Chain A
Amino acid sequence: MTTTTATSHDLQHAPSGGGWRRLLLHGGLVRALWMTPLFGAIGFGIVVLIRWGAGWHPILLTEPLVLVAALVAAPLGFLAGIGAFDYWAYYALGYPTRAEDHSGHGAQSWRDYFRVNTDHKVIGIQYLVTTMFFFVAGGLLAMLVRAELAKPGLQYFDEQTYNGLFSVHAALMIFLFIIPAFAGLANYVVPLMLGAADMAFPRLNALSFWLLPIAGIMMLSSFFMPGGAFACGWTGYATLCSQHQPIGAIFFNQGVQWAGASSIMTALNFLVTIITMRAPGLTFWRLPLLVWANFTTSLLVVIATPFIAGSQFFSMFDHVMHTAFFDPVGGGYPLGYQHIFWFYSHPAVYIMMLPGFGIMSEVIAVFSRKPIFGYRLMALSLMAIVVLGFSVWAHHMFVSGMSSWLRVPMMITTLLIAIPTGIKIFSWLATMWEGKLHLRTPMLFALGFLSMFVIGGLSGVMLGAVPIDIHVTDTYFVVAHIHYVLFGGSVFTIYAGVYHWFPKMTGKMYDEGLGKLHFWLTFVFFNATFMPMHWLGMEGMMRRIADYPSKWADLNFIISICAFVLGASTLVFIYNMAHSWWKGAPAPANPWRALTLEWQVTSPPPIFNFDEPPQVVGSPYAYGVPGARHAIVTVHVPPQPEEIPVPVALAQATPTQREAIMSALKHILVVANQTVAGERLIAAVRTRAAADPIRVTVICPQNDPSDTWVIDEAAVEAATRARLDATLAALRGAGIEASGYIVDRDPYTAVLDVVESDPPAEIIISTLPRTRSGWMRRDLVERLRDRTSLPVEHVVVDEPSESTRA
């Protein structure tokens, strides 16, 4: 941080003074550097005072001291230091509320990502980069686990360390990667999709982000505690975790609390934002499914997350205060932990899945160029999953010794949940049916998700059946299932979402080749890693154990090798993201021709997103529906027109001369795509040029070729560009003023746009013969005649002669 940037972000109440003083007292990482230990020391002092006053001995007891000083007070000091509480502190002390100067909004340089920022777009990127860091950390732990399992016997770690490795791996992946990565994507995209300027509570949003690094560092730092990391699995079952573990266990308890608080605050923010900040016309039945998905997820988070908070409180009290919640000796009830834990953690499975469902609906509709199938049922099935998700928790406890009458009801509700999930799967398949599939990287990950999630879902149905579950409980079958659901499911959707919105977030295009390489490496080696685990589990290889009988040595060795390649495939992703962000080709506003609102503004969007609240007029998924619009977006500064070549004769004219010449000429609009260079079309234009002085505008609405199913977008665009250039050259060769461009629109709306901005005297439309022309099937010519009341001539290409010429 330098003085100049500090000045540019000066706040009204910021302490005045020289560079050093400002640096130390101004909210930021430097102030956090001294406030964190200060608060830690205060927490330390409070504990010592209380223990001394109450006469409890020893006064310096490790567990309460670490808990209060390091895991509660110091993080609060960090938050206060970095400035997350500044505004509220002024409010609490009775100062007049400061008018928002938006100094904490937007990012001008990379430094702005390292301070408290209230812009949802900056926070979204902060979330994604942070979670990516913990994804890599958790992935490295998984590599260590696989290294240990490559051979039978103990190679590198003792059992307790090994237990710590897989426990922290799971905790990081769940609480610090999947859940917050979805929150990050939604943070960026949801306010844009709503047509809003930001989230409802921007400061709360900033605070929720800064809780995350605290939680993550807490979990990682448990490795450095005496006795090692928490090692009782991410489920932290009592009484194992609440009594028999070293001090690292409370790092897990507290880390979950910080991460949980972060997700509750984010969820409240989403709910209020979605309810109160929708653009005019954006009713609930017009919301993009990503917004629906985050709405339902937020409901789940708000209702369920307090239960994991409760379970971790009790476990920690048992550990630190020696209460008797779960300790049978003191009359405690050990199963109570599992009930409360799973009452959160089963809904949490949907917290980790529903936002992914939302991403899938966006990606599949856009890249299939078709409206989403069964929109309302898609939204309602999300709600059904929310409700049913609360009724299945005890299916994790079939062998726990709980009352046996609970088993069958839980089995039935578990199987019922397959119905709304099945509705979604079949709706996506129906969306793709007869669509035009553009196999870009996000779509590849979406297809990978569909196939992998079906496998994971089916093994989930198997596990939901009591007899099978009893046979494979705590085996690698469960490990395979959870990874098919969370990696093949959630992580694939996160990848799809990151690739899909990367151009919007950074204003740069990612490298398509590297993206595809990343997909295929991930897809192949993911299956090679986790598919064999089903067999190992069926044969009885138990999870969470560092050693295993040598009869499974070969398969485990193969799995480990594949896991290493899977881990390495992430490097391709990281390189692609970093390099493209740095040096990628600039991204257009709407590279995927999507209809939702976030694509109707520049990439990256302006600081307050929209110049005026957009007016929503229709469905967000009307792909391929002629004339359909989702919203009308008003942009105050008109965007630069796409490169329209300057006509030859006008090149030397002054602007005023040019305008005079242009208005004197009769304007003819030519609409054509595949037939644009057709001889009959050129002839028709020449006929007019012979009669009157004319100028011609050629537009090529680039809709998808009708004879292929899978589309290479770049090739289509290049071909269209070549045809257009040929036409313009032919017209200019005949001495006609001609300009033209490719439009990413439906022909009907594209023509109306031109009629509005530069009214032509006549329109010429060129198509294939009726049998092969999509435009003809949609009565384009008749509809334009009715709408514009201009003379519209229809030229049908002379196919035999064209094909011989080609």
Chain B
Amino acid sequence: MTATAATIDGHGGGETAPVSAYHDSLLRSPLFLGMVMFLGSEIMLFGSFFTIFFYLRFTHHPWPPTGIDVPKKPTGVNTAILISSSFTMHWALVSIKRNRRFGLICGLGLTLLLGLTFLALQIHEYLHLGFTPSNDAFTSGFFSLTGLHGFHVFVGASLLAMALLRSLRGHYSAGQHIGLEVTGLYWHFVDVVWIVLYTVVYLL
């Protein structure tokens, strides 16, 4: 049972019960719907960051400015790490749908581990870049976009840690895992944003 789905009908029905007994809906659950809409809002938040980044990019030449070099290849490896974590997340979800706890715990654990590795490598990159946010327009945009994304990875990793803790304590079942589904949705979103971000900030 998840945090907010519990009182969806005002009477403490869990997520196995429909939203309300009388409402026939194609939606999986209100929590899932809420997460989808929240991600719409998140896309707009990243959109505002990309917007200012593009404004700056198209008013500057050369871009990035001479003397500033972003580590494309090491970050490429880091990208692969983050993308692979989406697959382990999917493994965890498929496992719980078939009621296999081993797969669930391994999947979640690996996803969390990969996510934390990504974060650690990003922090390492920050410390060895050789420039700071206040250098110029490019570095401002670089740090704010990667920083915003890093914060989202941190939030996602916290959600994963909670899910892992609950899995270890025997929560979730084949019929009751909406909390995992929304966590997974969020995690996939964070991955997809990173692919766009890596392309726009590092490669282009």
Contact = CB atoms under 8 A, between A and B. Distances in A.
Tell me whether A and B are bound partners.
yes
A480 interface: no
A268 B10 contact: no
Contact of A268 (B3, B37, B49, B139): B37
Contact count band on A: 35 or more
Contacts of B136: 324, 330-331
B67 to A, nearest CB: 13
Given A92-B162, A310-B49, A333-B59, A272 B34 contact: yes
Contacts of B2: 91, 97
A364 to B, nearest CB: 30
Given A306-B48, A323-B143, A264 B171 contact: no
Interface stretch (B50-58, B91-99, B116-124): B50-58
Interface string A211-245: 00000000000000000000000000000000000
A339 B55 contact: yes
Nearest to B32: A272
Contacts of A613: 20, 22
Given A201-B4, A280-B23, A608-B10, A317 B133 contact: yes
Interface stretch (B39-47, B104-112, B186-194, B196-204): B39-47
A87 B22 CA distance: 27
B52 to A, nearest CB: 5
A91 B162 contact: yes
B10 A202 contact: yes
Given A276-B23, A323-B144, A310 B134 contact: no
Contacts of A203: 3-4, 7
B6 interface: yes
Nearest to A314: B52
Contacts of A100: 6-7, 11-12
Interface string A314-333: 10010001111100001111
A704 interface: no
Nearest to A101: B12
Nearest to A100: B12
Given A268-B37, A280-B23, A197 B144 contact: no
Contacts of B38: 268
B9 interface: yes
A310 B148 CA distance: 10
A272 B33 contact: yes
B8 interface: yes
Interface stretch (A24-32, A297-305, A438-446): A297-305
A174 interface: no
A202 B31 CA distance: 12
B70 interface: no
A313 interface: yes
A275 B140 CA distance: 40
Contacts of A317: 133, 140, 144
Contacts of B168: 94
A340 interface: yes
B169 interface: yes
A637 B52 CA distance: 60
Contact of B137 (A87, A93, A200, A332): A332
Given A203-B7, A276-B27, A303-B41, A324 B34 contact: no
Nearest to B54: A336
B100 to A, nearest CB: 20
Contacts of B59: 333
A118 interface: yes
A275 B30 CA distance: 9
B56 A325 contact: yes
A314 B173 CA distance: 44
Contact count band on B: 35 or more
A328 to B, nearest CB: 10
Contacts of B40: 302-303
Interface centre among A92, A118, A304 (most CB of B within 10 A): A92
B9 A197 contact: yes
A198 interface: yes
Contacts of B139: 323-324
B49 A279 contact: no
A311 interface: yes
A272 B37 contact: yes
B51 A339 contact: yes
B6 A97 contact: yes
A276 B30 contact: yes
Interface string A256-285: 000000001000110110011111100000
A397 B147 CA distance: 30
Interface string A131-163: 000000000000000000000000000000000
B173 to A, nearest CB: 13
Contacts of A197: 9-11
B133 A323 contact: yes
A325 B134 CA distance: 9
Nearest to A609: B10
Given A198-B7, A310-B52, A264 B41 contact: yes
Interface of B: 1-4, 6-12, 19-20, 22-23, 25, 27, 30-31, 33-34, 37-38, 40-42, 44-45, 47-49, 51-52, 55-56, 59-60, 65, 133-141, 143-144, 158, 162, 165-166, 168-169, 171
Q: Which 4 A-B pairs have the closest CB atoms?
A: A310-B48, A197-B10, A306-B45, A323-B140
7 contacts: A204-B4, A304-B44, A306-B44, A322-B134, A323-B140, A330-B140, A613-B20
Given A333-B56, A343-B48, 18 more contacts: A94-B162, A100-B6, A100-B11, A198-B7, A264-B41, A271-B34, A275-B33, A279-B22, A302-B40, A310-B51, A317-B133, A323-B140, A324-B134, A325-B140, A330-B140, A336-B56, A608-B10, A608-B11
Interface of A: 87-88, 91-94, 96-97, 99-100, 102, 118, 196-198, 200-204, 264, 268-269, 271-272, 275-280, 302-307, 309-311, 313-314, 317, 321-325, 330-333, 336, 339-340, 343, 608, 613
